[in-house]
Structure 1
Amino acid sequence: MSASSQAMRELADGVAFWRSRPKWPADFHNTDYQRWGQQNPNGNFTDLWWQPFLRTLQAWIATRPFSGEVLTSRFKEHATALGVAWQEACVKCLEGDISTVTWDEIKVFPNEVAKIKPTKAPSPVFTSKFCHFLLPKVFPVVDNEGLGNGWPTYEAYFRFVQEEWQSTGAATRAELVAELTRLIEATGQHVYPGFPMSNKITELRLIGRRHPT
């Protein structure tokens, strides 16, 4: 099987698994990305912004086993530092994606986010979801149900996703983008300009690799 055929097979298997999950949206969160983009505080991490964002994190099973009260207290401790880290690492990346940045350029923000949720063992899940909801084209998301949790740190996952995308040939990338675009448009939507195409394709391929049909 050619590299292109293998990539398309992984995408198809990932889509099949995605569609088998009753609560996962058919548009691959295209609508959600638009909403999250509108709600982005652009570095102004206030208590008013945090409460609905916390509910989103809870709905995405990113906060367990900690209560909202514990995480809110820790968020308040780090809100100012988060704002500084956003200005330092993220503002310059707003028009880019994972292929246009390095980990060293953006690490200050996820490293600050990680301080909000204390964990006994390193885990990228909370950090990935927090960052992904704010800057999805740069920060890939880890979902245990689809991907498992085979990466001990968010840096390891970020680098893995980045390498997967960079090692995919240009022609194959174009095929993958065209196919995912077709699937989103089949739901009756236009693809939101902020949709994280490279990260979502890689996520779906990794899901398909883990759950082949």
Structure 2
Amino acid sequence: MKLWLATLLSILILSGCSSAPPQPPMASDSWELHQQTLSQLKDWTLKGKIGIRTPQDSQSANLKWVQASDNYQIDIRGPWGQGGASLYGNPGAVTVDVAGEGIFRGSSPDALLEEYLGWHLPVSQFYWWIRGLPAPGPSSTLILEQNRLSLLRQAGWQVEFLAYHSGSPTLPRKLRLQHGQLTILIVIHDWISGAAPDV
């Protein structure tokens, strides 16, 4: 259960990571304009895969994240829909439903992670990182490639943007997040603008 909850709350987020640098499509807009555009993207559905690896274990699963302004639902399911967990809520309240383990509630995903696993992780900042943006607040170090994030260091995490989708706006396709001995790989197959009406 702990690994599933860690996966969900840290998104969060195919082992065999590529070390090649990201190759985003040629960008005609500046980094500043790109940040403004992505900051306005507040409703989306993304589908893909997530893998988490620690020295003790590794797992991968299907990922679906629906964001409607401040409301969200993140579903993680094993192969063929087996097992998994769902995280849903808003900035004031969050619920985690872990298959076979129970339902857990708290005021934030960060607080739930701290309470049930004893880990302090900047879960709320993943909302920004998944779009290819640094989170507001904590200081960060950026490396850009063609006016897109290639590497981000923030809040003790290293986030590598290994590939981007084409289109406008340019959104991440593959990310690798590392903190100590924890590695999370996210591969996004589809980005769809606009959130599902039931979120």
TM (norm. structure 1) is: 0.27
Question: Rg: which structure is higher?
Answer: 1
TM (norm. structure 2) is: 0.29
Work out which structure has the larger RCO, using CA pairs closer than 8 Å and 6 or more positions apart in sequence: 1
